[in-house]
Amino acid sequence: MPRGGKKGHKGRGKQFSNPEEIDRQMKAQRELEANDGVAKESGSEEESSSEEESEHKKRSGVEGLIEIENPNRISQKSKKVTEVDVEAPRELSRREREEIEKQKSKERYMKLHLEGKTDQAKADLARLAIIKKQREEAARKRDELRKDAEDTKAKR
């Protein structure tokens, strides 16, 4: 059965490069790299002009015609080790700030809750008061039943 089943194989056959062609391409690439290295060493005036040209070449389309001041397109500049200020306060990310705010609000709530100033604490204290009353009444009834039981035993 042919490749691809009954319908046949639709793809092209594989083409392999000649080793001679690969060598030719490698030599051409080395020559270009060598020419670039010589041009960079030639002088500082040429370097500044070539940098300006490369900046213009990088821009494509309308970018070359219009100056765009987009605050989101600021390129990240790497700092040298000597420029980095270790003692400066580090800015927190949004998630870190939200996490700290969340912890502080939780601590504030717990403090108020322990003082009995929150709605939930007031409801809990009211519930506890009701339960205490019920338990006191149940204990009083048990004591009365015990006394009645003792009195009936004493009478016999």
Round to whole Å and give the CA distance between 142 and 148: 10
All structural domains of the chain with their residue ranges: 20-56, 116-156
Average confidence score pLDDT of the chain = 80
User: pLDDT by residue (tens digit) across 39-84?
Assistant: 666 654 444 555 555 554 566 666 667 776 777 776 777 777 777 7
pTM of the model: 0.34
Quick one: pLDDT at residue 44? 47
CA pair distance 79, 72, nearest whole angstrom: 19
pLDDT above 90 covers a percentage of the chain that reads 38
